Amino acid sequence: MTTPSSLRSFVEVAADSHFPIQNLPYGVFRPRGAEAPRVGVAIGELILDLAVLEREGLLHVPRSHGETLFDRPSLNAWMALGREAWVAVRRQLTHLLDRDEPTLRDDAALRREALVPRAECEMLLPVEIADFTDFYSSREHATNVGAMLRSPENPLMPNWLWVPIAYHGRASSVVVGGTDLPRPCGQLMADGAAAPTFAPSRAVDFELEVGYFIGPGNRLGEPIAVDRAAEHVFGLVLVNDWSARDIQKWEYVPLGPFLAKSFGTSISPWVVTLEALEPFRVSGPPQDPPPLAYLQSPGYDSYDIHLEVSLQTSTAGAAERICASNFRGLYWSLAQQIAHHTSNGCNLRTGDLLASGTISGSTPAALGCLLELTRGGKQPLKLADGSERRFLEDGDRVTMTGWCQADGYRVGFGEVTGRILPARPIRPAV
């Protein structure tokens, strides 16, 4: 269900707000002073409390069998119901928030209870995450990294243009935006050294990514066809898959990233649905050679999502934009990622998080991590306050944001932010 661009809510929404009535992203929040978290949708500067609407009988959810869905600390039960239920409730929420609909607009007591200022709420991790898979789907990113680590003449591995590459990440260390992370420690192997040392990473990096949550999964042994993949996607979030490049360099051969990435992955608190993104569907880049038959998708399977990264040092008064990229440039689409992930019979489950990998563009301003922006630390990034960065220093705060722009409104993701804290040493037993 696509909400008409002309529709407006009785809730005041600024023209540049990420959360107009055309969006209505889902999140889990806790009002100040409350104990129990619950599910809501963002509208302007407010959160519409779905647990209140559910209690008042204003939401009718297909396939729910009378189960309470929104007075919960996660979206999982809601996501598991599938697209029929998602579309039906979106239609009801859009109706209730319409400026011409009096049910909520004219009931002052209900409005005070159901519409809560976002500034007075704590945002929580929206989903109980079952598993985390991180793809490597930006050709520009893979080419840039391959040129640094392999050779400029042959940057891509032979399989990259044939198969969506990914690694299995650590779901337990996925955190909601606003969570600060200590600098990780690990084994570091200096060039020319005879043995590694164990020390705090000196090359902590961010990665600009977009992730998506699985709603209904598939049974073990039953692959998901590429043209059915969207039926399993509940919605998208911004992802910062923090990385320790020096730890990664030493450990990634032969099985890929491990401790270099498992120390933390940050996601934005609001999940933007495919229904909200539908008006912004576009074609992805041409694929040559043509994918194998099981990966051939029908066409308009990407989204025009503008993405930005800002960096604020501990001494700077304001954040500075250091990257602007776009989701539409990803070589491998979400549908192709899901089709490949399940092609061997692997079963995805409700709450699984799949991420795009670093999203880089073709220009220097569109590089989605410091590894690329600084050429592996060899060309420091010069900031407006006169300081430089090869990689992140303690106290640095990274903020990512993204939105789709339409005529008169935008559908946005809010932001995901996090700060790097000093390393915490291992405390031996006494």
**3 state DSSP class of 224:** coil
Report the C-alpha gap between 172 and 298 in whole angstroms: 35
Calculate the alpha carbon distances from 306 to 148, 398, 413 in Å.
Answer: 27, 17, 10
- DSSP annotation of 4 reads P
Listed residue (30, 24, 34) closest to 118, CA to CA: 30
Asked if residue 415 lies in contact with residue 401, where contact means CB atoms within 8 angstroms, the answer is yes
Catalytic residue chosen out of the listed positions 18, 65, 141, 306: 141
User: C-alpha angle with apex 312: 406 to 176, nearest 5 degrees?
Assistant: 65
Burial of 419 (0-12, 13-18, 19+ CB in 10 A): middle
Q: What are phi and psi of 168, to 5 degrees?
A: -90, 120
User: Is-contact 77 65, C-beta < 8 A?
Assistant: no
Distances (CA, A) of 70 to 55, 56, 61, 142: 9, 12, 11, 40
Q: How many CB atoms sit inside 10 A of residue 321's CB?
A: 13
Encode 382-425 in three state secondary structure: ECCCCCEECCECCCCEEEEEEEEECCCCEEEEEEEEEEEECCCC
> Is residue 267 a contact partner of residue 169, using CB atoms and an 8 Å limit?
no
d(CA 305, CA 383): 26
38-43/26-31 β-pairing: antiparallel
Active site residue 232: no
Evaluate the omega torsion of the peptide bond into residue 425 and state whether it is cis, within 30 degrees of 0. no
User: Which residues carry out catalysis?
Assistant: 141
